[in-house]
Structure 1
């Protein structure tokens, strides 16, 4: 009985509950409550304005109905329209005012928040709209559920209207369409870590692979692998870019102009190869912010983009040892120190001996030895070092302060003695060469569109030489000093995603002193000159990656206070992608230079450093000016790279004493110009871990001295044909490079005959540079291997071999009258013989 009562009670309870539910479903409740229930049941979101729902009450649709049927049910019993978007978003409109809803917004660049004008708004029904100058757009909503925004140079973006209905006027950010176009940038040029972009060659030592004969990322040696850049005497102190002299190149280290570029009298670069972060090399089309050069620009920057982790490295090779350290002071500041010193104080390696023989052949130092044959002794001491210091400080989020200091020093002392019977002679030569520099840089970021850089720098160069001949009681001293002070202001403005505008001002004061004294007979000569210049710079940069156009057009207005003279220098870099793989590049520039190196006598500074710096006086020493134009085509596809470039270059205002003549023009002081027309070709292929390239350079380089007869003849630095080839293997930790270099010989001037009247010993020369030396040929090899220990210390071993075949390449030849026999003496200078080098390096 009790069991049946329990069953009856349960059935009655179920009927009451079902009835209650039925009554509840039929009861009118606020529509907002019903929508909330549907959102939970069907996982959707309703979008609406509060005023159209506040007064509406109705009964809820059955839970078991589909979403579509629920919406249809509500639409039939209300005066509302329900717009279903992908079963995720449902827009609710009043049927009477649905067509009056206005959608508006702003389209901006995600990179710099600049308004994007003429952006296209596309709808599914083919209706379109565009943005105005402020990036604003608006339209009346009809049946659209989404639209797409697009603009050239930006990634398109699809917008769902349901996403923005709750916002009165929304902002849309478009991402710039970044395409690293192969026709504009060659990320692998000759070797890893070297790239070519918009006429600029960039070397990043930290990513540097390997080149033949190099085991270190030495910028001044590496740049000689680029077509059009050579050194007729294998010296980094005599780099010739498209036929120009070394002093016509502008070398900058962190904004400091460097007047000394080599150690060991040009055989080793003066810049620590393990320090620089980026090296930029311009053969043509340099920025208007670079002045004081009529040839190339080499800008070495060791400024990092961020205060990365501290590290330490040290290494040694058969010439020098170096150390590098970087450590943080605070989260926003660090100090970077590097030092390098020759090891010749401790040991004379095979490499050192080959360098020494190359540097001092046919100088007064070897001449002394050649004139002695009995009881000869020599005590020589040679050494060099360079030190750099960087202090980096971030101040807040918008300011950055950098202090750079550099010291470069070379010292040579040679004491020679000889005796023959009762006759004794001795001679002491000393030479000091040094370059100090400092730069204080302040960068201010005013916002996303504007930055300002302020630089103030100094550079001090000194070359001192002394020759003491005890037998003749004669002491000769020579000095060449340069003090360069500079200030530069640079403003960068981003106008929009395609256009940038830069402007600035630069002031320079250069003072040069030359001194020469002799005690017997007494002679004293000292000259000091100071030149002040100002420059106003304007530059506009246009970049459109979609149309494949890059254009950098600038102009530099120079004013020389001493001469009250203006000089205008336009600059141009233009790149156009003819197709996805084919690129056209046009570079042009006008430049000028007020300082230069000259040679009074070939035996100045004992024939080792014959050049000293002087300033223009606007008359006998004119301002050098250059104009250059080059047109190139480059093709890049499937790891192939072809570059074909033609160029024209003319430099006016040169002096004969700056060209290093050793013929009938040696002691003349005349002015002229030179013109170069040339072609440069590069073919490169990379296959997995292997790469190879071959380059060819042709140039026709001629002087024009109007007051000399003949007026036109070949340039001293002309190399008609240069061919280079290299093959490299680069996989993981092992790198190997083998390369050859062949070039036609530079010109020489031969005497008319070898018969000279002893009573009147004079040299009679043929036409200047009437003959070419024998061709130059060399094969070089280099290899590096690195590994890492379990405790994180990295080791690197390097081996190089220059001139594997030990070929005796003649690099210079001149003629003089022998003081002993009054006959013509043929003097020849040769390149480095077979020279090995070995390096070991650690880093952590």
Structure 2
């Protein structure tokens, strides 16, 4: 072996030993790669921005760029990036340009969430509807959620905005009054209030200051002043239907609201892949505030009302065709009035006056939509109600009822121009009532005749079944015509009576923007439990009936400007009234006639301005029997005029200023002309004028203003608001206070000034 051969062999061996070390050194010199991930969201609301272009550019070399698109959850990812600085750019036509510098580190994932500031006028917001988007509906209006929550005088409650629309009488005093609405000359008890298609006991808490269901968890607020579908029954006035929305599915969120009179909080978010849930609770502060603001020289009592309510919703999607929803709603109202006057004595005079009403409504809903032609919606719930009333020392009423309510609505499109709808609804109720009370004065009866009014002791248990069936055909035989005939059959098992509701509506579209509409039909309502309860009422009563004729026109001028004019005539008969001396305690001898005109000229919120002018003219009269004279309805309000406007200020549209002026006619009342002395009770009994509701309160007017400011942070929003009702302190007349023998009286007015200051955090 030569020396050269040995040297070559040793060199090769040495090279083989060095190769692994050289490779490792080379690998060690090459830096590890990194990645960049994040989510594109709307600033403040954290709503994801799907299908949005995202660009990444090397800080040191502008020619090196990467691009991607966000997924359905707004997420993006860049892989295999060299360590260093990069410029992240997001472009969105609805948001301000976004650019940020990010540093990618070796071997570590880098995360950068981007919050886009929406351009003014393009805020992502829900739409809440007053009047469903159904072409066959004669009366409908649509309002954005931003319009609803910003209405002055509504105490930040979208449902109370209904009081500023045509057809609704302004009978509440700055939010205090009925637990329902006076719609087209009928009482609050004559209208239907629905939650997910099923009856709820009341629309507002005691005093009417806040709605019974928190509107933050609602998708639709549907208001029908009249001429509504055969889908709805057991009402002579209007219908208000509330439908809860689906909880958010992208992340955990919620809001907390604190204002002068109440506070509430809501939390919502996903519950797994196909489910989501929401829960909310609210409690009032009214029982702490009112005794302070009510002047003692105006109302000689201490008022202590309070309420709370709660809501819970769980949604579960079973594929694309089925949606299962579980929900629970509840409310508890209490009120105590402590009388501080010793001047006047009547059958209800005492030191205390207590009311407590609570109800709880769990239920479920199933919606099936196999295709675009067929849909079915089933709702079932259990309504438990517990009521206690105490009027002085001797008069009490306690009632507990349980109702199983149900409804099923089915629709099928038979042709492009024809859709058939049918369904059933009803309830089976059972419960008990224990009471020691006289017959309370009815509508049109000014008061008790004497202090020895007969008292009835009731201790009964019973049940009632009220099913109904409806069918209607929505036909569009031509592009300019819509016709909807329908019929409804109602049955009341306790009374053993059946009623029939045929109805017909039509809309004509003669040219673009103009709609002519007309409707007619029958509407029936069963008597209330106290009216037909054996031993207290008349178990032979029949249904009350309304015969309606309505028509109108609406025109869309474009760019959000619309005008809607409607007129109607309604005849009432079979109304339950107090019987005369030789008749049962209640009879169906009452009659009524109502006519009116409603105007709504409106500018929808398109950029910064929204508002409307609403005018309602109504004359509502009643006749208690064939021999009686016609008189005004207790809550007849001839004129109700509302002018409302709201304007959004600031470069980011984060300020809003609004005002509402309202003028209304006074309500009728029956004056006291003299009094009779009752030696047995050592008290005076008022003698009322023979002309019932012959007098009328003075007209009332007020100005409400509202200011909102939105503070937007990356992951939440803070809204501050000031809502002032009756800015110039005009006194609202609510009645008269008499001395012990009714020879003197003085007007009683409600607090003239009512501010609400609030904070709301949304995350």
**TM-score computed with the length of structure 1 as normaliser:** 0.64
Is 1:802 the equivalent of 2:720?
no
Asked if 1:641 is matched to 2:641, the reply is no
Cα deviation digits, residues 778-817 of structure 1 (max 9, x gap) = 111112121211x32111111111111111121345x87x
Alpha-carbon distance change, 613 to 683 in structure 1, aligned in 2, over 3 angstroms: farther
Residue of 769, 783, 795 corresponding to 2:707: 783
Question: 3-state DSSP class of the match of 1:229?
Answer: coil
Displacement after TM superposition at 1:478 (Å) = 1.8
The reply on whether 1:332 has 2:332 as its aligned counterpart is no
Displacement of 1:195 in angstroms is 6.1
1:243 has 2:185 as partner:
yes
User: Is 2:248–2:276's contact at 8 Å kept on the other side of the alignment?
Assistant: no
CA contact (8 A) 1:558 1:568 kept: yes
Q: What does the per-residue CA deviation read over 1:459-508, in whole Å, with 9 as the maximum and x for residues that have no partner?
A: 2222212367xxxxx56432244433222222221223322111222232
CA gap 1:305/1:668 in 2 versus in 1, 3 angstroms: closer
Q: 162, 165, 174: which is aligned to 1:226?
A: 165
1:570 aligns with 502
1:542 alignment counterpart: 475
Equivalent residue, structure 1, for 2:78: none
Aligned to 2:370: 446
Cα deviations by residue, 1:565-597 (Å, 9 ceiling, x for unpaired): 332112334222121121111133322122438
SS of aligned partner of 2:179: coil
2:571 to 614, 630, 650: 650
1:632 has 2:552 as partner: yes
Moved more, 258-267 or 198-207: 198-207
CA 1:688–1:455 in 2, change beyond 3 Å: closer, same or farther? closer
State whether structure 2 residue 753 is matched by structure 1 residue 834.
Answer: yes
Asked if structure 2 preserves the Cα contact closer than 8 Å seen for 1:417 and 1:426, the reply is no
Q: In structure 2, what is the equivalent of residue 693 of structure 1?
A: 612
How big is the shift at 1:691? 3.5
3-state DSSP of counterpart to 1:763: strand
- Structure 2: distance between partners of 1:553 and 1:357: 55
Deviates more, 1:799-808 or 1:256-265: 256-265
In the alignment, structure 1 residue 431 sits paired with structure 2 residue 355: yes
Output aligned runs, 1:549-588, within 5 Å.
549-588=481-520
Give 1:86's aligned residue: none
Could you tell me which residue of structure 2 aligns to residue 765 of structure 1? 689
1:679 is aligned, of 597, 608, 615, to: 597
- Where 1:237 maps in the other structure, the secondary structure is coil
Decide whether aligned partners of structure 1 residues 303 and 827 sit closer, same or farther in structure 2, where only a CA change above 3 A counts.
Answer: same
Matched, 1:252 2:194: yes
Structure 1: gaps spanning 5 or more residues = 1-190, 370-379, 469-473, 601-611, 659-666
Contact 1:200 1:281 in 2 (8 A): yes
- The answer to whether structure 1 residue 510 and structure 2 residue 429 are counterparts is yes
1:722 corresponds, among 625, 631, 640, to 640
Q: Does 1:289 align with 2:231?
A: yes
Following TM superposition, by how much is the alpha carbon of 1:622 offset from its aligned partner in structure 2, in angstroms? 3.4
1:394 and 2:317 aligned: yes
TM-score by length of 2: 0.71
How many angstroms does 1:645 deviate by? 1.1
2:420 to 501, 504, 514: 501
Q: Which residue of 1 aligns with 2:386?
A: 462
Aligned residue runs from structure 1 range 19-34, under 5 A: none
User: What's the secondary structure of 1:716's corresponding residue?
Assistant: coil
* Residue 562 (structure 1) shift: 3.2
Q: Secondary structure at the match of 2:218?
A: coil
Structure 1 residue aligned with 2:307 = 384
When residues 522 and 641 of structure 1 are mapped into structure 2, their CA distance, relative to the original with a 3 A threshold, is closer
Give 1:105-144 correspondences, 5 Å limit.
Answer: none
Distance in 1, matches of 2:185 and 2:545, equals 15
Q: 1:640 to 1:204 in 2, by over 3 A?
A: closer
How many Å apart are 1:742 and its aligned residue? 0.8
User: 1:381 offset after TM fit, Å?
Assistant: 6.0
Structure 2 CA distance for partners of 1:445 and 1:196, relative to 1, 3 Å: closer
Cα 1:260/1:692, change in 2 over 3 Å: closer
- Structure 1 CA distance, aligned partners of 2:637 and 2:471? 36
Give yes or no for the alignment of 1:706 onto 2:648: no
CA distance in 2, matches of 1:758, 1:493: 68
What CA RMSD, in Å, does the superposition of the two structures yield over aligned residues? 3.7
| Structure-2 change in CA distance of 1:735 and 1:613 (3 Å) | farther
Kindly indicate whether the alpha-carbon contact (under 8 Å) linking 2:523 and 2:545 is maintained by their aligned counterparts in 1.
Answer: yes
How far apart in 2 are the matches of 1:734 and 1:550?
42
CA contact (8 A) 2:131 2:224 kept: no
Q: Describe the shift of the 1:464–1:812 C-alpha distance in structure 2 as closer, same or farther (beyond 3 A).
A: same
Partner Cα distance (1:523, 1:512) in 2: 19
- The separation in 1 between residues aligned to 2:730 and 2:689, in whole angstroms, is 29
Contact 1:531/1:615 (CA < 8 Å) preserved in 2?
no
Deviation at 1:679, TM superposition (A): 0.8
> Are the equivalent residues in 2 in contact too, given 1:598–1:614 (CA < 8 A)?
no
The whole-number CA distance in structure 2 between the counterparts of 1:394 and 1:749 is 58
Q: Describe the superposition over 1:57-92 as per-residue Cα deviations: whole angstroms up to 9, x where unpaired.
A: xxxxxxxxxxxxxxxxxxxxxxxxxxxxxxxxxxxx
Partners of 2:617 and 2:340 in 1: CA distance: 48
1:597–1:613 Cα contact (<8 Å) kept = no
**1:341 to partner: Cα distance:** 0.9
Q: 1:316 is matched with which residue: 254, 258, 263?
A: 258
Change in 2 beyond 3 A, CA 1:690/1:450: closer
Cα distance in 1 for residues equivalent to 2:757 and 2:530: 36
Task: Classify 1:489/1:726 alpha carbon distance in 2 versus 1 (closer, same or farther; 3 Å).
Answer: closer
Say whether the 8 Å CA contact 2:258–2:264 is kept in structure 1: yes
Match of 1:532 in 2: 465
Task: Name the structure 1 match of 2:542.
Answer: 622
Q: CA deviation at 1:325?
A: 1.0
Query: 3-state DSSP class of the match of 2:613?
Result: strand
Radius of gyration: which is bigger? 1
Return the offset for 1:240: 0.5
Q: Name the count of aligned residue pairs.
A: 596
* 1:40-439 matched pairs, under 5 angstroms: 197=133, 198=137, 199-202=139-142, 205=145, 208=148, 210-219=150-159, 221-234=160-173, 235-304=177-246, 307=249, 309-343=251-285, 348-349=288-289, 353-354=292-293, 366=300, 382-413=305-336, 427-439=351-363
